[in-house]
Chains A and B, each alone.
Chain A
């Protein structure tokens, strides 16, 4: 890894007697979309707050673009924009005013700020309501205004904390597409924290799984699956009539198949990818009628289940 733009080294953060972050090491490259995935209370927000210098770590070091987040927070905050979870705007200001205010806090002159605020409002699809007070906005609109608010400071790094909560499914897709295209066009580094794996899976280049303050696994989706399940194992379900013992026996003997489970007319098989055609051949050879054959590779779903539902958390 060449020169990561965000480097978290051995980070520890204690709140009274609970340890929110436990010796965390994390590196994020420039221009990448990194998804920090974890259940509620896993320490995601704490990591973000430390990253922005908004809270002091108990131990460890966070550097952003070479600046120490704890001792030079203003430099870090100059290149970083943060969309907090449950972001809000002062209800008595309009959307446009809110953006201009943020820009002016970043030392952008008023006229320039108004111009880029209008542009951004168009981009996030709020151009028509920019002059309305934000208290009339829906949750989805607020979230999009939040995105515009993050982008108006022309950041190099965007940190998004649970950005899709409260948006409807269609809105979520638009929202994520917007983040992804923005990041790829401008080379912006994105750190996205969420407990919703499908969204993380959809746009992130790399994913880290954070549980109880520790990074349990890291990598792109395929690497994660490999790391967890060794060879790319798939789950194959077949519906066959009739299911004979010889069929089951033969399946069990096939090299690329690990386990076979029989459940009435359904056979559940775990095995390698190349097992699928062999299975159908075997069934036909044994005189069975094949009604359905479904094939599923392990995705983040399984990974998520594996970790969050007891799995490898405590080892």
Chain B
């Protein structure tokens, strides 16, 4: 098969189609509006505090730009919490009916009867949605950063910029995890409402009920404080939401030096300073690995399911 230089490769044609379908869908527009509205409240409050009365901010005023993302004022949840909460919704919304809706509409068999390998279909679903997610998250993050520059009047330090970029990248990975979970369910279930409910149920379980469950379990089984704490953290880390929150908090708060408790011996003699980016990354490396692995495992499962599934309804 000869490939003309000016023909677009079929895979990218499919990705383009995915992207335009997502961006033009009401579902996506509504989600973006929701995210912009909720985060702008929090960002606006912080920015006005920075401008008028920086003393209200907690302790040190170094890493001002990171504070825009993490600080909670007047009980408004900070940017990272909002993104941690709404990000999965974006992923789920883009993925939950990826395959079964096409099957319903009768477009699946038409598309894969074109001269393309079968996995283009599932790959383009993933890549298309991923590009949309990256564009959305980075646009949002850089908008906040830009607003920050307007209000603060100083350029962010290189370290801050790098931390923010790392934060945005891992947010994308986290959203991609939920995207892939959605895609997987969209292959397993023939009804898109079933797959939507299933993914949402898992999301709701981890973001609301799981911490309660962990507290209950720990309260029922352990006596000593130290053991209780270790067990809580251990169990919590099963939740992707907890992993993500740990990761973002550490990345955007350089003064946190450890994920768990430190013993007196470890602390004695240390200078209470902030960690460099490399060290913070080292601290959350397991979280990063786990999130990336979770994303890839979900994609792998959906890939396998799709490739082995019969096309006919």
Contacts and interface: CB of A to CB of B under 8 A. Distances in A.
B25 A49 contact: no
Contacts of A54: 109, 112-113, 118, 311
A91 B114 contact: no
B113 A81 contact: yes
26 contacts: A15-B310, A46-B312, A54-B109, A54-B112, A54-B118, A55-B312, A74-B116, A78-B1, A84-B110, A84-B113, A87-B106, A87-B110, A89-B107, A89-B110, A90-B17, A90-B21, A92-B21, A101-B13, A102-B114, A104-B8, A104-B10, A105-B14, A105-B111, A106-B115, A107-B4, A108-B7
A109 interface: yes
Contacts of A86: 106
6 closest A-B pairs by beta carbon, nearest first, are A88-B106, A88-B105, A82-B113, A78-B115, A77-B115, A84-B109
B121 to A, nearest CB: 11
B106 A107 contact: no
Given A77-B114, A84-B113, A92-B24, A49 B312 contact: yes
Interface string B106-140: 11011111111110000000000000000000000
Contacts of A78: 1, 115
A111 to B, nearest CB: 10
Interface residues of A, number: 36
Contact of A107 (B3, B14, B104, B109): B3
A82 B109 contact: yes
Contacts of A87: 106, 110
Please indicate which of the listed interface residues B107, B114, B310 has the most CB atoms of chain A within 10 Å of its own CB. B114
Given A15-B310, A54-B118, A104-B7, 7 more contacts: A46-B312, A55-B311, A77-B115, A78-B115, A88-B107, A102-B110, A107-B10
Given A101-B13, A110-B8, A49 B311 contact: yes
Nearest to A52: B113
A109 B4 contact: yes
Contact of A109 (B7, B14, B116): B7
Interface of A: 15, 45-46, 49, 52, 54-55, 73-75, 77-78, 80-84, 86-92, 101-102, 104-110, 146, 149, 153
A105 B21 contact: no
Nearest to A20: B312
Contact of A105 (B104, B115, B312): B115
B105 A104 contact: no
Given A101-B13, A108-B7, A110-B8, A149 B110 contact: yes
A214 to B, nearest CB: 20
B52 interface: no
Interface in B15-41: 17, 21, 24-25
Contacts of B25: 92
B301 to A, nearest CB: 21
A275 B61 CA distance: 110
A55 B310 contact: yes
Nearest to B1: A78
B265 interface: no
Contacts of B116: 74, 77, 105
Contacts of B115: 74-75, 77-78, 105-106
A109 B4 CA distance: 9
B6 interface: yes
Interface of B: 1, 3-4, 6-10, 13-14, 17, 21, 24-25, 104-107, 109-118, 310-312
A81 B21 CA distance: 24
A105 B114 contact: yes
A102 B103 CA distance: 17
A84 B112 CA distance: 11
Contact of A104 (B13, B21, B110, B112): B13
B297 to A, nearest CB: 26
Contacts of B21: 90, 92
Contacts of A45: 312
A60 B64 CA distance: 70
A143 to B, nearest CB: 11
Nearest to B106: A88
Contacts of B17: 90, 101
A45 B106 CA distance: 14
A46 B109 CA distance: 13
A107 B7 contact: yes
Nearest to B109: A84
A54 to B, nearest CB: 5
B113 to A, nearest CB: 4
B261 to A, nearest CB: 53
B13 A105 contact: yes
Contacts of B106: 84, 86-88
Contacts of A109: 4, 6-8
Contacts of A55: 310-312
A77 B117 CA distance: 10
Contacts of A46: 312
A61 to B, nearest CB: 20
Nearest to B101: A90
Nearest to B120: A105
A235 B9 CA distance: 61
Contacts of B310: 15, 55
Contacts of B13: 101, 104-105
B306 to A, nearest CB: 13
B113 A77 contact: yes
Given A45-B312, A49-B312, A106 B114 contact: yes
A115 to B, nearest CB: 15
A81 B10 CA distance: 16
Contacts of B14: 105
